[in-house]
Amino acid sequence: MIKVVIFDAGNVVCKSWLDTARKYFSKKLGISREEFEHAFHACDHDSAVGKEPIEEFVRKLSGKIGREIDFNEFIKFVLDVQLNKNVVNLAKGLGKKYTVAMLSDDCEPNTSKLRNAVKDAFHEFYFSNELGMRKPDKRIFRTVINKLYTKPDECLFIDDKSENVKAAKSVGMHAVQFVSYEKLLKDLKNHGVIL
């Protein structure tokens, strides 16, 4: 029986700021979106697991691309939290019957901004930069399960990335891939979650 529902943030609870940043900076810097994203993912690990500040990440990203990225301009995208209101309201409603948590890969200052924006809808927050590991590392799921004092099969995890869904299932959690709000409602019902 499901007792805990765990949501990813980017492209589930809120729009991914990376999508907006990729579109903007690829156009501004005259590179493809794929090139920007490749450089981003080649540089983001240390900031995502809390080993370096975001300023250092932006410096590395500029070096990888070979073009200067203005930090103040970049941080505006990081701090622009655009909530999926349907999902936030769903989490708030589920919170009356279940423990509702967030598990997301991100870095400061976005984690503080996001936590503040949805603090009324979630009981617990777990961010990669605070835990020192990121999805799809199986350890992050086990850590969250332990911190929630629950069992894997009592948890339902929701993420937009198939590799994270697969990793959650591999540790014994129930997991669904977020495609749309409507599909999520069906998936929750199929797992016996009372809406």
Query: Are 96 and 180 members of one domain?
Result: yes
* Of 78, 107, 126, the domain-final residue: 78
Only one residue has tokens 């410096």, namely 59
**One domain, residues 56 and 108:** no
Mean pLDDT rounded to a whole number for the chain: 96
pLDDT, tens only, 33-92? 999 999 999 999 999 999 999 999 999 999 999 999 999 999 999 889 999 999 999 999
d(C-alpha 127, C-alpha 140), whole Å? 9
d(C-alpha 159, C-alpha 97), whole Å? 21
156-181, pLDDT tens digit by residue?
999 999 999 999 999 999 999 999 99
User: What pLDDT is stored for residue 18 in this prediction?
Assistant: 87
Helices (H) and strands (E) in the chain, counts: 11, 5
Residues 92, 166: one domain?
yes
End-of-domain residue from the set 34, 61, 78? 78
Structural domain span for residue 162: 4-15+81-190
Indicate whether 9 and 86 sit together in one domain.
Answer: yes
Query: What CATH number should be reported for the domain holding residue 132?
Result: 3.40.50.1000
Give Cα 4 distance to the centre of its chain: 17
What is the count of structural domains for the chain? Answer: 2
According to the model, what pLDDT value does residue 133 have? Answer: 97
Enclosing H/E stretch for 20: helix 17-29
Sole residue written with tokens 């835990």: 131
pLDDT, tens digit, for every residue of 8-26? 999 999 998 888 999 999 9
Residue 102 in domain: yes
Tell me, yes or no, whether 116 and 23 share the same domain: no
Among 78, 96, 130, the domain boundary falls at 78
- 127 in any annotated domain: yes
Q: Say whether 105 sits in a helix, a strand or coil.
A: coil
Residue 94 and residue 138 in one domain:
yes
Per the domain annotation, does 22 fall within a domain? yes
Q: Is 8 within 8 Å of 1 (Cβ atoms)?
A: no
The pTM (predicted TM-score) of the whole model is: 0.95
pLDDT at 19: 87
